[in-house]
Structure 1
Amino acid sequence: MGMWELVVIFIVGLVVLGPERLPVAIRTVSKWIKTAKSMANSVKAEVSEELRVHELHENLKKAEQQELKDLSPELQNSLTELQKAAKSVTHSYKKNQPDAPNNNERDEKK
């Protein structure tokens, strides 16, 4: 939208809504626009992440087909990234687990 279009919209809004309701209407429209932008950015980020995960998955399949030998730098980077992600998930999982006795200790107590 150009400057003149905004001026026309402002004048029409001023005539139709009046000077009392125009600021409220502008704020409401502004909130709608911000909400729509944030939703669009959220969807864009999710799609981007899904594409990245899909690419890593494809690279992992290629690496498995080559039996993890003589990998291209791209495949090696993907494999390293997946290994780091797996370690971080395992590490955070262990942190959140309470110190529960293992099966052997429970069997001995019975």
Structure 2
Amino acid sequence: MLNIGFTELLCFAIIALLVLGPEKLPEGARFAAKWYGKIKRFISNVQNEIDQELKLSEFRAEVQKEIERMTELEKRMQQQIDALRQNTNTSALAQQTHPTIQSTPYHLLNTQIPSPYSRLHLQQHFKALVQMLEAQTTAIELKIAV
């Protein structure tokens, strides 16, 4: 804290001995040591409080970044949920208009591990699409013919 060497301490001791005398020197040394300890504790407390405030501000910044990241993730998840709802609504509409198309036998989100019926399902789906296209082309041919 203070950059005091041995020669400065020796000078202070000689001056204190001359000013206070040999009877009051121990009492003066206790008084100086007591105040030195109080000042040292005060300075260390101030330093600790400053460190805590800095850590608290850093923590607040980290929490704010995490909150922003979580809100971004929430927005992306909400967009994905909306897209899935829209897909299920369109597939439900397609099923209402074309009852030959069956719903998927596996969960929409878990497309990496399809059910064992997925090949059969795809064949049925393809056949239904072909029948639907044939019906539409014949309807278009009828409209053109008329």
* TM-score, normalised by the number of residues in structure 2: 0.45
Match of 1:17 among 11, 17, 20: 20
Partner of 2:58: 55
Runs of at least 5 residues in structure 1 that lack an aligned partner in the other structure: 71-110
Higher RCO, 1 vs 2 (CA within 8 Å, ≥6 residues apart): 1
Residue 29 (1) aligns with residue 23 (2): no
1:8: Cα distance to partner?
A: 1.3
Q: Percent identity?
A: 31
CA RMSD in angstroms, aligned pairs only: 1.7
For 1:68 and 1:27, how far apart are their aligned partners in 2? 61
For 1:13 and 1:33, how far apart are their aligned partners in 2? 16
1:69: Cα distance to partner?
A: 7.0
Pick the structure with greater CA Rg. 2
* TM-score, normalised by the number of residues in structure 1: 0.58
1:24: Cα distance to partner?
A: 0.7
What is the count of residue pairs matched by the alignment?
70
